[in-house]
Amino acid sequence: MSSGGAFETGRQRFGYIVDRMPHGSGRGGRQGTYVVRDADTGTHHSFMYADIVTEGFRTIRTGERVRFLVDPEEPERACYVIRLDLPSVEDYYR
């Protein structure tokens, strides 16, 4: 393991969503701020809904598993967040 540890640039991380903060939360009053807990290190990282990589709606729920990168300029932030527990289309629209 390199000296970068959990914050190694470009290394994908896995975790789950532990919190969603309402509008106006986060640094600078960002809207739709979420918190992901790294499954390996237990470190918490925040991200905005715009960091969710998906087609269609950028919706994510507490408890969902995700894959993400740590922002190299702000190690407390996650970026390129990808949902791993996508619901089936049939179940989603019931």
Give average pLDDT by consecutive 10-residue segment, the chain, 94 residues: 47 94 58 90 93 82 94 92 79 63
Domain that holds residue 67: 10-86
What does the pLDDT read at residue 86? 72
Structural domain includes residue 4: no
Distances (CA, A) of 32 to 2, 19, 24, 41: 33, 11, 8, 24
Structural domain includes residue 34: yes
Structural domain includes residue 44: yes
Structural domain includes residue 92: no
CATH number at residue 70: 2.40.50.140
Domain count, the chain: 1
What does the pLDDT read at residue 27? 56
